Structure 1
Amino acid sequence: MNVLSEQELHYLAMNIVGKDLETKGFEFLSVNSKPKKNPQFVCLKDKKIHFIIVRAVKYPEDPNLYDKNLVEKVKDHANKFNAITYYAGVALANADDYNKPIIKNQKYIVDYHGIIKV
């Protein structure tokens, strides 16, 4: 049984958010896949810079709840670039049993509501 690590869950969340951003016409300027290095995405859309913070959470955590201190720190940095800051929370759960860990190559459930302007 190969349980996904925190890093792998973060990569999965980034993949989900990245695909969403692509479909919405965001152009990637910078991608940082380290969980504690923020923002994860710096994008361009409509001639504006966008900073996107990505966080993977496990069920039953609410993917839309975020660390206000972290967001303020990123917003302060974004303001120096006239950038808009967003938060993208992705909740992940084992499809067979929400209380079990997510296993490599097995089905999982995603709770993602898109990016939230913060």
Structure 2
Amino acid sequence: MQPLTEQELHNLAMNIVGKQLEAEGFEFMAVNSELKKNPQFVCLREKKLHFIVVKGIEYPGDPKDIEFFRADLNKMRDHALKFEADTFYAGVGLVNAADYNLPVYLNEEYIVDYDGLVKI
């Protein structure tokens, strides 16, 4: 069994958020899957620009602990304001479904902890 790399966890989190955005009628203007390069999604909805920062957090990390990313998020928000865009944080928690103490493995069951977008 092969644990997911940091990039694979990030891509999984982006897929989860991307499906939600698509279902909610967001139009993708740009998508960036490069680690530590924000935002991951630049979207348009109802003629309003949205910058969305996605973070994949492996257990025991807490995807709701926004303070850990506060400096990056504030920097992104300040950048977004130049474009009259709203900024959102999407923290996606991922854990091995069989054993919380094990990493998330490729092609194995996992549990998602994601409450949606948080406006910054």
- 1:58-108 superposed Cα distances (whole Å, 9 cap, x missing partner): 112211222110011001110010000000000000000011011111100
d(CA) in 2 for partners of 1:35, 1:52 = 14
Deviation, 1:10, is 0.2
Structure 1 segment 27-66 matched on structure 2, within 5 A: 27-66=27-66
- Hey, what does 1:14 align to over in structure 2? 14
TM-score by length of 2: 0.96
Q: Is the 8 A contact 1:35 1:55 kept in 2?
A: no
d(CA) in 2 for partners of 1:13, 1:37 = 14
d(CA) in 2 for partners of 1:64, 1:5 = 21
Which runs of structure 1 show a deviation greater than 3 angstroms over 4 or more consecutive aligned residues? none
- 1:22-79 superposed Cα distances (whole Å, 9 cap, x missing partner): 0111000000001211000000001000000000001122112221100110011100
SS in 2 for 1:93: strand
d(CA) in 2 for partners of 1:62, 1:4 = 18
Q: Is the 8 A contact 1:42 1:49 kept in 2?
A: yes
Letter in 2 for 1:51: F
Q: Paired residue for 2:82, among 76, 80, 83? A: 80
- Of residues 52-61 and 84-93 in structure 1, the stretch that sits farther from structure 2 once superposed is 52-61
TM-score by length of 1: 0.98
Deviation, 1:2, is 1.1
State how many pairs are aligned.
118
Q: Does 1:112 align with 2:118?
A: no
User: Which stretches in structure 2 are left out of the alignment for 5+ residues?
Assistant: none
Letter in 2 for 1:113: D
